[in-house]
Amino acid sequence: MLPQDAPVPPGGEVVRAELVARVLEVAVAAGERVRAGQELVLLESMKMEIPVLPERGGTVLAVAVAPGDVVQAGDVLVVLDDAAPARDGGPQGGRRGAR
C-alpha cells in the first residue's frame, strides 16, 4: 500500500476521501486501466455506501487503502497516472460485487 505522504508523479491524479468513512471494497489494483467515472473504492459512512469515482481515466499507480480501513477526509485512496500503460493481460475495468 501507498503511504499517505508518498510523492505523486507529474501528471498523476490523487483520488482522496471526501469524508470520514470505512473502506468496504477496493475495486481496482495497481497497473489496472480505468476510465472516468469507474468505481475505484466503495466507502461506507453512517450506513450509506459511497462509490469513489475518478474524474478522468488512467492507469492505477497505487492503492493506498484496503477493505476495513478507516479513512479521514483528505486521505489518499488511489493514485492514477494518465500516461502509464495498462499491465499486460490485466482486467480493463473494476469489479463490483452483488449486494
Q: Which three cell numbers stand for residue 87?
A: 499491465
Count CB-CB contacts under 10 A for residue 8.
15
pLDDT attached to residue 12: 78
CB-hemisphere CA count at 13 Å for 6? 18
Predicted pLDDT of residue 11: 74
Report strand pairing: 76-81 vs 12-16. antiparallel
The C-alpha cell that represents 89 in the structure block: 493481460
Would you kindly state where each structural domain of the chain is located, as residue ranges? 12-81
Q: How do 70-71 and 21-26 pair as beta strands?
A: antiparallel
How is the beta sheet containing 21-26 ordered, strand by strand?
A: 48-52, 41-45, 21-26, 70-71
What is the per-residue pLDDT across 35-88, written as a single tens digit (0 to 9) for each?
999 999 999 999 999 999 999 899 999 999 999 999 999 999 999 997 544 444
Query: Which has the higher per-residue pLDDT, 81 or 23?
Result: 23
- Tell me the pTM: 0.76
Given CATH 3.40.630.30, say whether it is the number of domain 12-81: no
- How many CA atoms within 13 Å lie on the side-chain side of 33? 10
